[in-house]
A and B are shown apart, each in its own frame.
Chain A
Amino acid sequence: MATLSKPVPMKPKANSIKKTIIFIIVISLIIWAFDGVNYNGLMPSAAGTIVGMWNGILHPDVSYLTDWSIDGLPYAIVETIAIAISGTFVSGVLAIPFALLASQNIVGKRVSKVGKFIITMIRTFPELILALIFIGIVGPGAPAGILALGVHSIGMLGKLFSESIESMDIGVKEALESCGGNSAEVLFRAVIPQVLPEFLSYTLFRFEINMRAAATLGLVGAGGIGAPLIFAIKARDWERTGIIVIVLIITVTIIDIISSKIRKKLV
């Protein structure tokens, strides 16, 4: 760059010690992390596996795609979508009371902190473990997956819902109250119309995430495409793995595109 006519002001030095300490901590954490990862080299069969995978992607098992029975790919992928839809719906409904409980302008500061902590706790609990617990309750199959997604998604939706309730324009509510509106009218004419587009948009966003999650829940037996996928990988049937992965990528991409189009219209 061209030389500046004025001298550049000195950088502030006050934070440099703090910065060095943080830097050292971060670097040592990273070194510690890499130290713990044990690389045992490739499997002796790795080269064959990679060639097999590549061939599987190039020559996928098309007969599996056109198998319209209950063991075929179409059924599994539709089941996966059905799990994602139902799970998202369950969580969309369940998240509303949690969100209200976590919103400062509804329940006050103290209660909202408790509500927020509950939501964080739900978010932290992995859905795969939830799926395993629900399999113990309703048996293996799609309902366990739906319940797992339904409960786990409260963690994200509850947080986002409560943020949009908290940023709501309170003037509309006050205007209705000053005209003598009762609490039901306030709820249906002031609160819901304001937050509904955002709620729907967040729910759709969560649906996109749940679509990916539903594809893995089958690994533990909670229905959907995951079970045939893990069987194909374990059996090293790369033609079948190939077709499942290809169909999964296409389905997820299409759903992403549709859902983000709708979301753009909503908000």
Chain B
Amino acid sequence: MNPELVARLPKKPKRIKFYSTLALVVAIIVSAAVFSGFSILDIINNLRFATRLLKSMFFPPAWDYADNVIKPLLQTIQMAIAGSFIGAILAFPAALLAANNFIKIKWLNTTVRLFLNFFRTIPALVLAALFVSIFGIGSFAGVVALTIFSFGLISKMTYESIEAIDYGQVEAIISLGGNKLNIFRYAILPQVLPQYMSYTLYAFEVNVRAAAVLGYVGAGGVGQTYQIWLDLRRFDRVGIIIIISFVAVLIIDLISSAIRRRLV
């Protein structure tokens, strides 16, 4: 090209910032991998253990043990339902307090949000381990842990939905002389209810998966059975537990997400 024309072209933006960010990210990832001793070679070298383990688990699994898996599995589902139900009931008032367009008291909104955030940072499994030391080994500790976990999850998603409602409806009610209760009943509830129910179902799905492993710390359900046979190294029984719970979770997921798609 003509050098004069080239000089008149806009200059390319300098990409120092881009390259330095990229270098930083690469450095973080590499140092994380080195720190944790992650090496692809080790994994490839150990692949024969993988085939051996998978063979003892699934080829064949202990089909005759399948009947004994059903009962703890149903208990797992019961725990998940109970936990997400109580969590959802507690979550709605909390979400109303946290949403800044219904109760417009800033310090209250912020405090409730901080409180909800606090609940969401503690993993369900850790909560379960703590509650097992209060309520003893069994499903009750698991239900309490799942309740708190779903409370944190549902309330956060719900308050975000409440804040995203069409505010025109609220203004319409106010202009007709409606009070807070009217606003709640005729503007917020109809707009948020489908999403709230969808979040509850979503929390239920997450809870089923969480409940399946809670037993590992003694909080009831199929995880407890699983841990017993794993400790005894009866991998064929471990295999059948994994297969049956996997199928159950998959079915629940498919049903629940089909319902959710209809709701919203």
Contacts and interface: CB of A to CB of B under 8 A. Distances in A.
Interface of A: 1-2, 29-30, 32-40, 42-43, 46, 49-50, 53, 78-79, 81-83, 85-86, 89, 120-121, 123-126, 128-129, 132-133, 136-139, 141-143, 145-147, 212-213, 215-216, 219-220, 223, 226, 229-230, 233, 236, 241, 245, 248-249, 252-253, 256
Contacts of B217: 219, 230
Interface residues on B, range: 35 or more
A132 B230 contact: yes
Interface stretch (B9-17, B104-112, B173-181, B188-196): B173-181
Contacts of A249: 118, 121-122
- If over half of B's interface residues share one DSSP class (helix, strand or loop), that class is named, otherwise mixed; here it is helix
Interface in B207-264: 209, 212-213, 216-217, 226, 230, 242, 246, 249-250, 253-254
B68 interface: no
Interface in B105-138: 117-118, 121-123, 125-126, 129-130, 133-136, 138
Contacts of B123: 212-213, 215-216
A1 B32 contact: no
Contacts of B213: 126, 128-129
A252 B152 CA distance: 15
A82 B36 CA distance: 6
B51 to A, nearest CB: 9
21 contacts: A32-B81, A34-B82, A37-B79, A37-B139, A40-B135, A43-B135, A43-B136, A53-B130, A81-B32, A120-B250, A124-B250, A139-B46, A143-B42, A147-B43, A229-B129, A241-B130, A248-B121, A249-B121, A249-B122, A253-B117, A253-B121
A235 B212 CA distance: 24
B121 A49 contact: no
A1 B178 CA distance: 5
A92 to B, nearest CB: 10
Contacts of A43: 133-136
Interface of B: 28-29, 31-33, 35-39, 42-43, 46-47, 49-50, 53-54, 57, 74-75, 77-82, 85, 117-118, 121-123, 125-126, 129-130, 133-136, 138-140, 143, 173, 176-178, 182, 209, 212-213, 216-217, 226, 230, 242, 246, 249-250, 253-254
Contact of B78 (A32, A129, A253): A32
Contacts, number: 169
Contacts of A35: 78
A136 B51 CA distance: 10
Given A86-B32, A129-B213, A30 B81 contact: yes
Nearest to A225: B126
Contacts of B118: 249
Contacts of B226: 129
Given A136-B53, A146-B36, A42 B135 contact: yes
